[in-house]
Structure 1
Amino acid sequence: MERRTRSFFPLAIFFGLFVLFLYGPIITIAILSFQGPQGGLTFPMNGWSTHWFADLFEQQAVGDIWGAFRRSLALGMMVMVVTVVVSVMSGLAFRKRFPGAGALFFLAVASLIIPSILVSLGVGLLFDQLGLRVHWASSGFGAQLTWTLPFGLLIMFAIFNRFDPAYEEAARDLGASPWQTVRHVVLPIIAPALIGVALFGFTLSYDEFARTLLAAGSYNTLPLEIYGMTTNVTTPVLYALGTLTTVFSLAIILSLLAVVWLMRRRAGRAG
């Protein structure tokens, strides 16, 4: 058995502290969400119960939790679909050099380095100046795409840089049309990457705050609604909402990972 070096334990302790730093706040919120009916927002806890989770499903005096959740879910799905489609099309287009390709690429990813609040302000002002309604499904949708599309593009570019064109040549030799080659050869091969882009698109949209703040109009998404509730809600129902939101996000991630695992398992059996 190989002996551990002297640096193993200090590095292990450092890694443990790093993980605690990442997930400590989430764990704290999850614990506080199980306060008793008379519990408050801080430690020590006043009993244990699921009272505040049940309270979430009752009419709230402050905030439109479930309306905001439905808007965030719908917006996340819209952003996910557009991010996947545009990323794949861009990845296919950039496989061949064309005039202005470099400038277009840097322009596409430039929004990652622009402060998010400025993007939100700019999109909101643009829609207002054009006489269009500032709304979560229009201006909010556009603002979030400036965040999700660059990630999708970078993933697709990396995938297509490693894609072997011999598969496409073989399909064309067998008489496949360009569309059939893309549908039956290219897309199945890059399917795990597509799921990764979809995961990025949905989760980045669902949790986005700054780029939606000034572009959502009169109706809040869930992150905006939670932020608004922090100044008014003084019960652990806010923690219960945070816990359920985290569980929902993890469920989406685990579902997509399970799909990737099943696809790879099927491909292994077929191969």
Structure 2
Amino acid sequence: MTAPISARTGTTMMRRKVRKSSDRPWTFYVLASFFALYVIALYGPMISIYILSFQDVQGGLVFPMRGVSLYWFNELIMQTRAGDVSGAFSRSMYLAVSVTVITVVVSFMAGMAFRRRFRGDTIVFYLMIASLVAPGLVLGIGIGLGFNMLGIETSWYTSALGAQLSWTLPFGILVMFAVMSRLNNDWEEAARDLGASRAQTIILVILPILAPGLIAVALFGFTLSYDEFARTLQTAGPLNTLPLEIWSMTLNVTSPSLYALGTVSTVVSFIIIGVSLGSIVMLQRRSAARLNNAK
């Protein structure tokens, strides 16, 4: 008797699954089709650029491909027909790292300061995020004109740095506010009860707890700076950053070396994102292991 009953039960469950899949409304299929078209439209051009960057020397900017090689990547290194790609890449990296460090430090200090109310805190908060309202190109033009009026030459490490900080700092501060909202004051009080000073409490208690959030702020600041174009266009001075170099290559270079540069830039971005996310996962696992050992 057991075998027939189990067979009937299995048949009934299969019928229910078929009914559930067939009873889906037509809107489900419309939304699924729309999402598939959205993914194709979003990633299709990017994938095409990555594939075309591996064209042979006879290849062009469109399909069909004429051979497969790393010729155009070698063109970027040798800079025979491309621009100052290596210099622009190094400047973008230096600038992004500087912006990241300043964004993390200032965002952490702002998050610590705004944990308690003080007179004029609302005005200070809105002044910090006011630059998000202004268009990036207009803000960059204003900073460039301000430097010229003061007789200071614009460059990627002065005026461009300030222009990008006007973009990264508000985002970093907003992320840090969300992170700080989950910080329990009891942990600080416990550290003080054990004799820790203010500096020891910050270094040994607060920073380890907020480390994943600080990494998120750093990732935010780096990616925004590394890819920034509008605020850098009028403030970088005579030397281009990587986004400006890519833009200038679209005006002068008509070869797959432009696609190769886009592929390299994307790979670098994914590596940085992967390292950041891996660091967050490692910190979370280490915290979980410490809690298990403490128990």
Question: TM-score when scaled to structure 2?
Answer: 0.88
**For residue 174 of structure 1, what is the aligned residue in structure 2?**
194
How big is the alpha-carbon RMSD for the aligned residues of Structure 1 and Structure 2?
1.4
Q: Does residue 65 of the first structure (1) align with residue 85 of the second (2)?
A: yes
Worse-superposed segment, 170-179 or 83-92: 170-179
Distance in 2 (alpha carbons) for counterparts of 1:86 and 1:224: 27
Contact (CA 8 Å) 2:76, 2:82: kept in 1 or not? no
Distance in 2 (alpha carbons) for counterparts of 1:82 and 1:22: 33
**For residue 73 of structure 2, what is the aligned residue in structure 1?**
53
- What is the 5 A alignment of 1:82-231? 82-231=102-251
Contact (CA 8 Å) 2:75, 2:81: kept in 1 or not? no
**For residue 269 of structure 2, what is the aligned residue in structure 1?**
249
> Mind listing any 5+ residue stretches in structure 2 that lack a counterpart?
1-12
**For residue 18 of structure 1, what is the aligned residue in structure 2?**
38
Which of 246, 258, 261 is residue 278 of structure 2 equivalent to?
Answer: 258
AA paired with 2:69?
Answer: S
Q: Which has the higher contact order (CA 8 A, sep 6+)?
A: 1
Task: Specify the SS of the correspondent of 1:220.
Answer: coil
Worse-superposed segment, 60-69 or 181-190: 60-69
Aligned residue pair count? 271
Cα distance, 1:58 vs structure 2: 1.0
AA paired with 1:11?
Answer: L
Larger radius of gyration: 2
**For residue 78 of structure 1, what is the aligned residue in structure 2?**
98
Cα distance, 1:238 vs structure 2: 0.6
**For residue 41 of structure 1, what is the aligned residue in structure 2?**
61
| Sequence identity percentage | 55
AA paired with 2:163?
Answer: A
**For residue 235 of structure 1, what is the aligned residue in structure 2?**
255
Distance in 1 (alpha carbons) for counterparts of 2:34 and 2:115: 42
Task: Specify the SS of the correspondent of 1:60.
Answer: coil
Distance in 2 (alpha carbons) for counterparts of 1:61 and 1:37: 13
AA paired with 1:115?
Answer: P
Distance in 2 (alpha carbons) for counterparts of 1:233 and 1:166: 60
Task: Specify the SS of the correspondent of 1:57.
Answer: helix
Task: Specify the SS of the correspondent of 2:55.
Answer: coil
Cα distance, 1:62 vs structure 2: 4.4
> Mind listing any 5+ residue stretches in structure 1 that lack a counterpart?
none
AA paired with 1:95?
Answer: R
Distance in 2 (alpha carbons) for counterparts of 1:10 and 1:179: 57
AA paired with 2:99?
Answer: V
